[in-house]
Amino acid sequence: MFKKIHWVDYKKRFPKSFFELFFRKICQLLARFAFINSFRIFLYRLMGMKVGTRVYIGYDCFIDPDLAELITIEDRAIVSFRVIIVAHDRIREFVAPVLIKKRAFIGAGAIITPGTTIGENAIVGAGAVVTKDVPDGTTVAGNPAKPINS
């Protein structure tokens, strides 16, 4: 798990203007419904997210626009439609990075919570809620996501 950074400290250290946040929200909105994967990836990169090569990100994902710079998706990872990736938690007042490593697969509708890493070649089942790191090559499913035999 990545170290948690206090929400207020992070905002002070990396302030963002209203216009930057507005621009990111527009990118997020367009990316959700763009037809072509490469255009979606282009918009997510504009938003500040780090995206490797040959990555696929499906329709209607919600990827935390305000903290996109904390989200990394490595080469050849697949993020299916309606996945949610968040890098902040207002109730516990922290922000933390999210890392999706090479060739990982995130099933439709999964939720990836702040501070988690999805390992190389790992599989996250449809609808899973990932609250802890997923080791390389492991398949997890459910809420909270746990390893399954497959």
Ligand X SMILES: CC(C)(COP(=O)(O)OP(=O)(O)OC[C@H]1O[C@@H](n2cnc3c(N)ncnc32)[C@H](O)[C@@H]1OP(=O)(O)O)[C@@H](O)C(=O)NCCC(=O)NCCS
Question: Cα(first)–Cα(last) distance of the chain, in Å?
Answer: 24
Find the helix packing angle between 37-47 and 18-33, rounded to 10°: 170
Using CB under 6 A, pick the residue from 43, 49, 125, 138 that binds ligand X.
125
Segment near ligand X (CB under 6 A); pick from 30-38, 42-50, 66-74, 121-129? 121-129
Is the Cβ of residue 65 or residue 107 nearer to ligand X in the bound state? Answer: 107
Residue for token pair 């938003």: 47
Residue 79 in contact with ligand X, rule: CB under 6 A: no
**88 noted as active-site residue:** yes
Sheet containing strand 5-6, edge to edge, reads: 5-6, 94-95, 88-89
Tokens of 112: 């990836």
Residue 26 in contact with ligand X, rule: CB under 6 A: no
Residues with catalytic roles = 88
The residues of the shown chain that bind ligand X, judged by CB under 6 A, are 80, 107-108, 123, 125-128, 139, 141-142, 148, 150
